[in-house]
Structure 1
């Protein structure tokens, strides 16, 4: 087939994918598999090879990321149900003082956002923002906006979150380098987002009376708009999983002291330090070195997370009175919520494999080469466009990686450059959170904002932070 025909098939495939997800409300996993089969057949992949192509795409993707996502979810679940997340946030508020409480909650969102999925983190921390707003008699949005944006930023940029893990695997980026470069980039993006949020929240926005009453203990809010209550609201998390949008209490034992701040922080950073140590060992130590071999094993993301799961289970569970059955139950309870995320990631791998096997990937690479745009720019713009079109950060990142992988392979980029490309995709995936994004609805419902106010605050802030994130990755490009 000609390149033009292949490109038309690819465009029709992406358009069909968006229609299935947005209009027909088909679950993203099913939509990706259906579109992958259709694109493969239309592009001339032999019927006898179709099943093998799908299995290869699913297997090569899930073989790397399924364990990482599952272990990361277990860590987050143990931290959540042990009360560690709330204790950590309250400790930060005490350390920062009342005047810097919004910054303390932003830092809490950043740190807790690493092991805890965005939706869960928002549910855990929002009651704390409610309590602080009630005590200070200040607008809730000033506390919640930078905190929520911080968690979404980590969700888009950093492993072990599913989009970042899938992108790193698909394009061949090193997850250790993604963390090494991404953590400071993310920290700067979040801090600048915090400063921008202070400007965005200078004026007061209409607030749902029910949420106002829940936060401040009064019956109505000035200039209130709307009347729906978030008490029993649910939203789709972008992967087909229903998530509760009302703040939920943790399953803690009131007879036990809360986990210490230092303990929670140490457990959160342990896998990060192990992964970074493995990356540095491979780059700085000689081949054949015993220390390099040890660090390589300990720094493998799966091993690092497995070690941290064991530490969390002992320190936050067994040492605090949980029996083995309860620990197993808590760890198992983390899996249903990420099962669909894992399948969506695998289906994205199938789509990428089909693009390569059909020759569409090379055709797209040729066209993108002719644009003259750097790979970094293409990665950001494509992820941003897909994010704005269909809402899910994870789906946008996985689809972008599948489309751009042939071009990136042809460009012969270094591992560090590929890591920056992964971060540029994350910046695009962070941007333009609006009315087709479950995260947008979760945030606006929990803060009592109407649609227009949500667009003026949450959408503007996430888009600005995405652009800042891309600017920082572009600034680092000449250095690697």
Structure 2
């Protein structure tokens, strides 16, 4: 089959995938599997080999990432239900002070975003932003915007989040190197996003009356407001945008719902979040610096395997945040089990992305795409960013954008004979594309704007602009790092 025919089939497959997700509202997992089958048959994959190809693609992907995603979700769930996330955020606010509370919440979003999925993290931290806004008499967006953007940044860039894990497995990148380069990179992006958010929140924005009443209290009968001066329509009654100023208040730490003992300490939560990261980094450093056959290298390699590192951390979380604080074994098991249903579909979507990638390779489409992309003369880093950006803008899901981009570009990346470090940087460039352009077809956009009380236009002017600027900044940083790897 000619390259032209294969490319037409690939283009029709991607177009069909977008139509199924956007127009027909088909669940992404089902859409990916259906399109993979259609593309395989159209490209001439023998019917007898079709099921085997799908099973190999699904098995090769899920065999590596399913355990990692599941263990990461368990860690996040234990931290959430133990009250650790709230305690960590409030401790940061106390340490940073009222004038730097937006920065404190951005840091909280960054750190807690590593073990906690974006949607869950937003639900956990948004009530804290509500309380801070109420106490300081400032617009909610001042606190919520940098916090939410920080969590989305980690979600797009770093393991153990599903998109990053799936990309690493598909293209052969190292999760350890992704963390080693990605943590400082995302920290810079989050800080830059915080500075940009200060400009975006200089003026008051209209706010949904229901959210306004929940944050600031219902209007008084005499026409005033019970706890804040912000009007839902953004009139001059609004709290003064920006940081500091009269009316700033220190938020009182409330009791954490669902816990019967004092919440865990800041140091405990931070240690448990950092432990798997340090183990993975130590394993990566050991593999790259110690000679083969060295006993220490063997030990670090085992402990630094993402699955082992996360399994160790789940055990530590279960003991220090659970058993040591009064949870019995049944409750610990129940909490761990409750983390799995929300991520089951995410795991299946990642697996279906692996099926799509396998079909592209088995059908010869991957090679045809690689030939065309090579002839464009564009650097692989830019191709990775632009492809994930286009798919993110088109269909909304960062995870789907990442797994689809990996499937499309894997043949080209393997042909380019890149080092593991370069492949890891390419994975981060894909993450930058998946961070940008969060807009009306993204569930995360609607979740943030509804919780923050924003209308569509305001959400596009603030959330979409900020995520796009941060995504471009992340890609710029990967280009700076490229000559160094």
Both proteins in one fold, TM over 0.5: yes
Distance 2:441 2:196 in 1: 24
1:314 is aligned to 319
Residue 261 (1) aligns with residue 261 (2): no
1:362 is aligned to 367
Secondary structure of 1:386's counterpart equals: helix
Unaligned residue ranges in structure 1 (runs of 5+): 226-248
Contact 1:168 1:422 in 2 (8 A): yes
Distance 1:224 1:434 in 2: 22
Distance 1:416 1:374 in 2: 16
Distance 1:317 1:158 in 2: 26
Distance 2:256 2:305 in 1: 31
Per-residue CA shift, 1:231-287, capped at 9, x if unaligned?
xxxxxxxxxxxxxxxxxx965323x11100000000000000000000000000011
Residue 116 (1) aligns with residue 116 (2): yes
Distance 2:256 2:365 in 1: 48
1:222 is aligned to 231
Counting only pairs closer than 5 Å after superposition, residues 196-275 of structure 1 correspond to structure 2 as: 196-219=196-219, 222=231, 224=233, 252-254=258-260, 256-275=261-280
Residue 413 (1) aligns with residue 418 (2): yes
Counting only pairs closer than 5 Å after superposition, residues 122-201 of structure 1 correspond to structure 2 as: 122-201=122-201
- 1:224 Cα deviation (Å)? 2.6
- 1:64 Cα deviation (Å)? 0.3
Contact 1:32 1:348 in 2 (8 A): yes
1:35 is aligned to 35
Contact 1:65 1:166 in 2 (8 A): yes
Distance 1:154 1:204 in 2: 28
Contact 1:278 1:296 in 2 (8 A): yes
Report the TM-score when normalising by structure 2.
0.93
Contact 1:36 1:354 in 2 (8 A): yes
1:401 to 389, 406, 421: 406
Per-residue CA shift, 1:22-70, capped at 9, x if unaligned?
0000000000000000000000000000000000000000000000000
Distance 1:474 1:250 in 2: 43
Contact 1:82 1:251 in 2 (8 A): no
Residue 342 (1) aligns with residue 351 (2): no
Report the TM-score when normalising by structure 1.
0.94
2:249 is aligned to none
Q: Which runs of 4+ in 1 moved over 2 A?
A: 218-225, 249-254
Secondary structure of 1:433's counterpart equals: coil
Contact 2:173 2:424 in 1 (8 A): yes
Residue 439 (1) aligns with residue 444 (2): yes
Contact 1:81 1:250 in 2 (8 A): no
1:230 is aligned to none
Aligned residues: CA RMSD = 1.0
1:323 is aligned to 328
